[in-house]
Amino acid sequence: MPEDPMGNAVLLHFLCGVLAVFSASLVNADDPYRYYTWTVTYGTVKLLDVPQQVILINGQFPGPRLDVVTNDNIILNLFNKLDQPFLLTWNGIKQRKNSWQDGVLGTNCPIPPNSNYTYKFQTKDQIGSFTYFPSTLFHKAAGGYGAINIYERPRIPIPFPVPDGDFTLLIGDWYKSSHKTLQAYLDSGRTLSFPDGVLINGQTYSTFSGDQGKTYMFRISNVGMSTSLNFRIQGHSMKLVEVEGSHTVQNMYDSLDVHVGQSVAVLVTLNQAPKDYYIIASSRFNRKNLTTTAILHYSNSRTPASGPLPAAPSYGFHGSMMQARTYRWNLTASAARPNPQGSYHYGKITPTKTIVLANSAPLINGKRRYAVNRVSYINSDTPLKLADYFGIPGIFSVDSIESSPSGGAAFLSTSVMSANLHDFLEIVFQNDEITMQSWHLDGYDFWVIGYGNDQWTPAKRSLYNLDDALTRHTVQVYPKSWTAIYVSLDNQGMWNMRSAIWERQYLGQQFYLRVWTQVHSLANEYEIPPNALRCGKAIGIRS
Ligand SMILES: *[C@@H]1O[C@H](CO)[C@@H](O)[C@H](O)[C@H]1NC(C)=O
Ligand SMILES: *[C@@H]1O[C@H](CO)[C@@H](O)[C@H](O)[C@H]1NC(C)=O
Ligand SMILES: *[C@@H]1O[C@H](CO)[C@@H](O)[C@H](O)[C@H]1NC(C)=O
């Protein structure tokens, strides 16, 4: 959620009132620090019948869960013991004024093998369910991912009773092939076949235990490569309470579609007869049926789970879009800060600019690539952020990517779209292909104001939800359809806009949004971190 002028005013007023009493402690009060040391290695695990190489963090797959509180400072020293350069990115962590720590190749040099880098960032004004994962090469196909749960500060009300327990479920499709094999496939110009299975927390047999009559939170994130998943629990309905940091209107659902890169949190009351029940994650729109189950175990149960599994929704894309439209912001609920989410009237703001982004799958030099508005992104050896900061020319190309689709052949470029700090953008994702898309923007969350079929036109604005659309960081776009968002550019930096479908990201369906102002001020953006790694043309340059 963006800075809220009203909330700030209220807070300031409050602070002035108590300043005399608390002045010293307020001025000196620093948000808490949390220190982590993580080591990344390969390991061999049997996941889908066959032993295979995966990426472990501190020996774990999935990696350690970060359980933190709003505004915590995270100091995380990451040691890379792989045979390849490595980075983690923090999916949905906004990195306010701090794209230096975003952990993608446009902002950071990758950590070389047998080397380390210490990330320093704050979970500023954030609350809810997020994830991290490797952003380099095709490492994500080997794991290396984990959950980030940000809890409320003491005395900040959340819009539901504190649950009796809290479960984190990382669900995602999975290949039996190694990340290097998959990458070699893509590098040779081929596309990946359909994944081999679905994992829940790196397993096909997890168990979650609770007491009859109690209510539990399930935080569900799709950490997979390409497959939209449907999530459901036999015999139980789910109350949606949070989507990527937004507190929602609390509707009940029998099943939820979770698209790649997305997170949702639901409350489930164990109100059924004492036995065990199936938890199901299954592929949503594909002819190939991938299904994995876990177990919801009642602590007083003596009866194992038994079939049949509750059926996946019979409706297709249209029904899924209808479900997506029922996700609404609870306007009166607070989020990470105590002011109501709806106090920022996004629907009354006139956008500074409209950008239409169309994805495509062109052949370039005879090889399959993915592109947005004709441009297929290629990484630079020098992070764009460092090139920008040190004034190294020739690294990226501003405005090679157009702000709306146009005819002509696709081409390769290290493309950056420029925008002004405090612009308010209307962005339309136009999907003319027949596959599901999922788009993510780093550094922000945005209002998802509309989903519709066919071609977007200005007339489609009449379909927008300008009252209680929720904010999130990753949004799906249905085949032959469009999705529209509003985003308030209140966070200066170099921000990755990418497909969350990992093959597409790897082969060019991404670019960077450079949010900039002439005024050089620490109030807008932090200085380069003293430990920033150097690579490419930034080698040897001192800050
Ligand atoms: C690598 O780790 C050491 C401590 O073991 C730390 O002093 C150093 O700053 C780290 N390097 C970077 C680039 O963060
Ligand atoms: C919205 O949040 C408020 C405040 O916490 C809560 O009382 C109310 O039940 C919520 N409304 C809905 C529809 O979820
Ligand atoms: C998919 O597979 C699961 C488990 O193998 C099965 O229970 C379910 O009925 C299948 N669904 C469809 C639509 O075939």
Q: What is the reported pLDDT for 328?
A: 98
CA nearest ligand 2 atom 13, residue? 249
Q: Tell me which residue has its CA closest to atom 10 in ligand 1.
A: 117
8 A C-beta contact, residue 61 and residue 174: no
Q: Is the Cβ atom of 309 under 6 angstroms away from ligand 3?
A: yes
Q: Are 260 and 202 in contact (CB under 8 A)?
A: no
**Given this model, what pLDDT does residue 4 score?**
40
**Cβ(235)–Cβ(284) below 8 Å:** no
Residue 479 is predicted with a pLDDT of 98
Please say whether the beta carbons of 19 and 59 come within 8 A: no
Give the residues across from 147 on adjacent strands: 131
> By C-alpha distance, which of 96, 93, 182 is closest to 143?
182
- The pLDDT assigned to 19 comes to 36
Give the pLDDT score at 5: 36
Closest ligand to C-alpha of residue 234 is 3
What span, in angstroms and rounded, lies between the C-alpha atoms of 526 and 18?
A: 29
Integer CA distances (angstroms), 301 to 141, 236, 273, 277, 377, in order? 37, 16, 9, 10, 53
SS3 track for 135-158: CCCCHHHHECCEEEEEECCCCCCC
Which residue has the least CA distance to atom 5 on ligand 3? 291
Neighbours of 211 (CB within 10 A): 14
Is residue 403 within 6 Å of ligand 3 at its C-beta?
no
Radius of gyration of the chain (CA): 23
Domains of the chain: 30-154 (2.60.40.420), 158-320 (2.60.40.420), 344-538 (2.60.40.420)
pTM of the model: 0.94
Which ligand number lies closest to the CA of residue 120? 1
CB of 475 shorter than 6 A to ligand 2: no
Q: Is the CB of 116 under 6 A from ligand 2?
A: no
CA–centroid distance, 79 to ligand 1, in Å, is: 9
Cα 63 to averaged position of ligand 3 atoms, centre (Å): 30
Ligand 1 contact via 119 beta carbon (within 6 Å):
no
Contact 218, 266 (CB under 8 A): yes
Hey, whose CA ends up nearest to atom 11 of ligand 1?
117
Question: For ligand 1, is residue 115 a contact (CB within 6 Å)?
Answer: no
Helix, strand, coil percent values for the chain (each to nearest 5)? 15, 40, 45
Q: List the residue whose alpha carbon is closest to atom 3 of ligand 2.
A: 333
Can you point out the beta strands (E) in 165-317? Answer: 165-174, 197-200, 207-210, 215-222, 229-233, 238-243, 246-247, 252-253, 255-258, 263-269, 276-283, 291-298
Residue ranges with strand state E in 30-136: 33-48, 50-57, 66-69, 73-80, 88-91, 115-122, 128-134
Residue owning the nearest CA to atom 1 of ligand 3 = 289
Whose CA is closest to atom 2 on ligand 3?
291
Determine the Cα–Cα distance for residues 62 and 377; give it in Å rounded to an integer. 29
Nearest CA to ligand 1 atom 4: 77
pLDDT at 17: 34
What is the whole-number distance in angstroms between the Cα of residue 69 and the centre of ligand 1?
25
Nearest CA to ligand 3 atom 11: 289
Which of 514, 520, 517, 525 lies closest to 418 in space, CA to CA?
Answer: 514
Using CA atoms, how far apart are residues 291 and 273, in angstroms rounded to an integer? 25
Helix (H, G, I), strand (E, B) or coil at 44: strand
| Integer Cα distance of 375 and 413 in angstroms | 6
Q: Residue 267 C-alpha to ligand 3 middle, in angstroms?
A: 26
Check if 39 has its Cβ closer than 6 Å to any atom of ligand 1: no
pLDDT per residue over 88-128, tens digit each?
999 999 999 999 999 999 999 999 999 999 999 999 999 99
From 194, 205, 287, 289, mutation site for ligand 3 pocket: most ligand atoms within 8 A of C-beta: 289
C-beta separation of 79 from 116 below 8 A: yes
Nearest CA to ligand 2 atom 6: 159
* pLDDT at res. 233: 98
What is the atom index within ligand 3 of the atom nearest the CA of 311? 9
Provide the pLDDT for residue 24: 33
pLDDT at 329: 97
Ligand 3 in reach of 250 Cβ (< 6 A) = no
Q: Cα(10) to centroid of ligand 2, in Å?
A: 21
One digit per residue, the tens of pLDDT, for the chain of length 543 reads 444 433 333 333 333 333 333 333 333 358 999 999 999 999 999 999 899 999 999 999 999 999 999 999 999 999 999 999 999 999 999 999 999 999 999 999 999 999 999 999 999 999 999 999 999 999 999 999 999 999 999 989 999 999 999 999 999 999 999 999 999 999 999 999 999 999 999 999 999 999 999 999 999 999 999 999 999 999 999 999 999 999 999 999 999 999 999 999 999 999 999 999 999 999 999 878 999 999 999 999 999 999 899 999 987 899 999 999 999 999 999 999 989 999 999 999 999 999 999 999 999 999 999 999 999 999 999 999 999 999 999 999 897 899 999 989 999 999 999 999 999 999 999 999 999 999 999 999 999 999 999 999 999 999 999 999 999 999 999 999 999 999 999 999 999 999 999 999 999 999 999 999 999 899 999 999 999 999 999 999 987
Query: How many C-alpha atoms does 477 have within 13 Å on its Cβ side?
Result: 30
